Amino acid sequence: MAQQSHAAQVDAVIVGAGFSGLYMLHRLRGLGFTTRVFEAADGVGGTWYWNRYPGARCDSESHYYCYSFSDEIRKEWKWSCRYPAQPEILEYLNFVADRLDLKKDIEFGTRVTAGYFDEAAHGWRIETDRGETVHARFLITGVGNTSTPANPTLPGIEKFAGKIYHTGLWPHEKVDFTGQRVGLIGTGSSGIQSTPLIAAEADHLTVFQRTANYSVPARNHELTDDMRREQLEKFEELRRLTLASPIGMSFEPAQVSALEITPEERKAKLDALWDVGGFRFMFTSFNDIVLDRQANAVVADYITAKIRDKVRDPAVADVLCDFNHPVGTKRPPIDTDYYETFNRDNVDIVSIRADPIREVTADGLTLESGAHYRLDAIVCATGFDTVTGSLIKMNLHGKGGQALAEKWKYGPQAYLGLCTSGFPNLFMVTGPGSPAILTNFPVCIEQNVDWIAKLMERMRDIGFNEVEALPDAEAEWVKDIVEAADKTLFPTVDSWYMNSNLPDKPRVFTAYFSGMNTYAEICDDIARNNYKGFDLRTHARAEVA
Ligand code: NAP
């Protein structure tokens, strides 16, 4: 594939070629900025490139989990179903990249290993694992929030004679579990999606559950031509709903408290939404699920009863319903036949909260009680070094050589989730403190990218060559996030939202909670007010050696 000339000096380096990087490249190209795009994978797709585990599927509905910026792309692409599987989303992103001829400007198989803000040159010096150094006025990261897989630290894991997989780093070739005894650790979205498929193939599957999760049926279905036509015809109306939504999805959010209607009305509402399935159950039922323990208990009790209905063995249902957190305070999973899978003869579940893993042996796992599980393969669905992991790993240094890892030692500090003070000309698409992780990602990505592109255009028009978040504005933004989170149930639980899914991370809420719609208004207002909270300035250009 012919690629653009590898200029050592460009306007912008973009890191990542997933939803964020692809659109950022398209926008900057349209504005005439020169770019280099580095992508560690051998293809586009980001999260959808790496997460190839059985059952990997989007939990957001296809007609809004996609780009909105191009009428042509929207009209030419046909989604097959309500929640497309990973191969289809990867195909979509390849389609977009080909349609916009983006691939020729992306350097695949190339990882950014370090970045230094050069105060004399007013730009970034970026190093890659191919030994190259590139200078860019702007550094823009589109590295995702769940892109650095986290493996569990289990004593003896190096002794295991079988294969160990991580859902977020799944092999490209088909993994065949036929005839095998498989152990799966982790019951977040990835574990819940992969369990039914692995169970259907393996000789035996044991799910090792540390935290019981509340899953709601997805109710996936194929899309007919009529359904697709209706989605296209109603695009403007659905888009308006999406943009007005706190979570970037094209349905009205819940308006009613669980506590202001009768038990009969609650049940009728939840029954109807259980049949609709997916995120609509959580997000269109009651407006106080993550705000009020009593309201939360209404929904938690409802889901618990549904699980007990589905699972035949009460002892197995006890483990699956052994909840220790309010529903919705960890990212809500949705599933296809997750609980039903535990009715199979070849599947069992073990609580490793009650009986933790003591060690891995050559032929399996041993728990503290001495119980031993003979395994041929272990699947780690144990999540990621979320939100900050991939940013910190890039080894970025701002003014005075300050490392991002050092600056964020006590938690990520970023203004609007887009910029961090002390690191001029660094933009983070869906960075910490943006609403991204609580929303439908493509909506936040498009808004972030458009906002960054407009700021860069304005700087060019006016002749500014540096932009930096002001420390006070950043501190205020972070304080507001913490205060908003403190009014919710999120801080009562360890989760990746709370940055506390791994032991050595600072425990702090990492998302703007007040909604994607409000966030977009604030960003627009800041832009209208001459980028309030940012220092925009001109320095004499120093030549790069
Ligand atoms: P996750 O939500 O962080 O879940 C990880 C699971 O592994 C949890 O059950 C966790 O238990 C367990 N775990 C972690 N470390 C462990 C250890 N050392 N020992 C035992 N258990 C351990 O990760 P994920 O399921 O990969 O999902 C991450 C995020 O990616 C999701 O929340 C979602 O935003 C995104 N995702 C989206 C989709 C989709 O749209 N379809 C699919 C998959 C993932 P604890 O709860 O006790 O920590």
Confidence check: pLDDT of 40 > 50: yes
Take atom 30 of ligand 1 and give the residue whose Cα is closest.
Answer: 146
Nearest CA to ligand 1 atom 20: 210
Tell me whether residue 104 is in a domain: yes
Domain of 53, CATH number, reads 3.50.50.60
What is the Å distance from ligand 1's center to 265 Cα?
Answer: 33
CA distance 369 to 259: 43
Residue 542 reports pLDDT greater than 90: no
> Of 3-17, 186-200, 314-328, 381-395, which range is least confident?
3-17
Cβ of 211 less than 6 Å from ligand 1? yes
Predicted confidence (pLDDT) at residue 544 exceeds the cutoff of 50: no
Q: Measured in angstroms, how far is the CA atom of residue 512 from the centroid of ligand 1?
A: 21
Say how far apart CA 25 and CA 17 lie, in whole Å: 9
Q: 215: pLDDT confidence band, cut at 50, 70 and 90?
A: very high
Tens of pLDDT, residue by residue over 161-205, are 999 999 999 999 999 999 999 999 999 999 999 999 999 999 999
Does residue 3 carry a pLDDT above 60?
A: no
**pLDDT score for 537:** 86
Quick one: 51 and 167 in the same domain? no
Same domain, 189 and 108: no
What CA–CA distances, in Å, run from 392 to 44, 149, 418? 22, 14, 15
Residues 375-397 pLDDT 10s:
999 999 999 999 999 999 999 99
Q: Is residue 53 part of a domain?
A: yes
Q: Where are the beta strands (DSSP E) in 131-254?
A: 133-141, 163-166, 181-185, 204-209, 216-217
Whether residue 474 contacts residue 485, with contact meaning beta carbons closer than 8 Å, is answered with: no
Residues 503 and 358 in one domain: no
Q: pLDDT value at position 541?
A: 56
Do 362 and 427 fall into the same domain?
Answer: no
In a domain, 2, yes or no: no
Are residues 187 and 133 both part of a single domain? no
Distance (angstroms) between ligand 1 centre and the Cα of 188 equals 4
| DSSP helix/strand/coil, 373 | strand
Q: Do both 305 and 399 map to the same domain? A: no
Query: Looking at the predicted structure, is the pLDDT value of residue 37 above 70?
Result: yes
Query: 515 and 406, same structural domain?
Result: yes
Assigned domain for 129 exists? yes
Give 194 Cα–ligand 1 centroid separation in angstroms. 12
382 lines ligand 1 (CB under 6 A): yes
Of the candidates 334, 358, 380, which is a domain's last residue?
380
Structural domains of the chain, count: 2
Looking at the fold, whether 395 and 528 belong to one and the same domain comes out as yes
Residue 118 lies in a domain: yes
Question: Are 80 and 215 contained in the same domain?
Answer: no
Instruction: Give 499 Cα–ligand 1 centroid separation in angstroms.
Output: 12
Query: Which of 207, 218, 225 has its CA nearest to residue 378?
Result: 207
Residue 545 placed within a domain? no
CB 213 within 8 A of CB 330: yes
Q: Are residues 178 and 318 in the same domain?
A: yes
> What average pLDDT score do residues 121-134 get?
97
**Confidence band for 543, pLDDT divided at 50, 70 and 90:** very low
| pLDDT for residue 394 | 98
Distance in angstroms (rounded) separating the CA atoms of residues 35 and 9: 9
The whole-chain average pLDDT of the chain stands at: 96
The response to whether residue 210 sits with its C-beta less than 6 Å from ligand 1 reads yes
Q: What percent of the chain clears pLDDT 90, i.e. is strictly above it?
A: 97
Q: Looking at the domain assignment, is residue 167 inside a domain?
A: yes
Instruction: Examine the domain organization and report whether 409 and 262 are in the same domain.
Output: no
Q: Final residue of a domain: which of 339, 364, 380?
A: 380
* Residue 453 covered by a domain: yes
- Contact at 8 Å (CB) between 250 and 239? yes
* pLDDT for 4: 53
137 lines ligand 1 (CB under 6 A): no
> Does residue 31 sit in the same domain as residue 113?
yes
For residue 194 and ligand 1, the question of a CB distance below 6 A is answered with no
Range(s) of the domain holding residue 449: 9-148+386-537
Angle value at C-alpha 216, between 210 and 217, nearest 5 degrees: 125
Residue 540 — pLDDT band, cuts 50, 70, 90?
low
Task: Using the 3D structure, point to which of 380, 412, 439 is the last residue of a domain.
Answer: 380
